[in-house]
Amino acid sequence: MNYPTTFPELQTERLILRQLKTDDVNAIFELRSSDEINKLITRKTPKNLEDAAEFINVCHQEFEKQNRIFWAMQYKETNELIGTIVYHNISLDKYYAEIGYEMNPKFHKKGFMNEAMQAIISFGIKTKNLKVIEAFTHQNNMASIALLEKHNFVLQPERKDEGFENNRIFRLEINQ
């Protein structure tokens, strides 16, 4: 897998997928501290804007270390940051990455995440030569499971996400 030297900005019909900026701090705080989003995600949530700013800094550092590509999903019509999508735990030698995503609940069920997934998966396959993409999602997150299945991810029932007994692992294997 070739890792990008500059952050890869992508566009879809309605979205700009771009690197996080420092002035995204309010939107990142809102997303990552949302009770509705976090009811099915186990993660460290920001307690204030400083925590959100530190998260943005970590995303930049992890990109430089070739571990993570974390895109802000900006709605073209309003320029609003409506969600995020990420490749993380990237393994260049194994052509592997994990995918994760979150969206502001007021934008749910409008096809935005499907649009972003198509762009990110295509980017991963065509420009990064990914062979395996995995997603870890809560067993009760039916919208996430439906999205993964729509994109041909397959449940790995024999595998467990250590420490997260409610998560299920889905895998997309790319045969080129």
Structural domain for 100, as ranges: 10-135
Question: Looking at the domain assignment, is residue 159 inside a domain?
Answer: no
Average pLDDT over residues 19-43: 88
Question: Looking at the domain assignment, is residue 124 inside a domain?
Answer: yes
User: Tell me, what CATH number does 102's domain have?
Assistant: 3.40.630.30
pLDDT digits (tens, 9 = 90+) for 85-106: 999 999 988 999 999 999 999 9
> Domains in the chain: how many in total?
1
Question: Looking at the domain assignment, is residue 147 inside a domain?
Answer: no
- Cα separations in angstroms, 140 against 4, 6, 14, 161: 35, 37, 28, 15
Whether 29 contacts 46, CB under 8 Å:
yes
Question: Looking at the domain assignment, is residue 97 inside a domain?
Answer: yes
Question: Looking at the domain assignment, is residue 141 inside a domain?
Answer: no
Question: Looking at the domain assignment, is residue 64 inside a domain?
Answer: yes
Please indicate whether residue 1 or residue 39 has the higher confidence score (pLDDT): 39
Mean pLDDT of the chain: 92
Question: Looking at the domain assignment, is residue 89 inside a domain?
Answer: yes
Q: Quote the pTM value.
A: 0.92
Question: Looking at the domain assignment, is residue 21 inside a domain?
Answer: yes
Six-digit token pair at 135? Answer: 């997603």
Nearest-angstrom CA–CA distance, 73 and 99 = 14
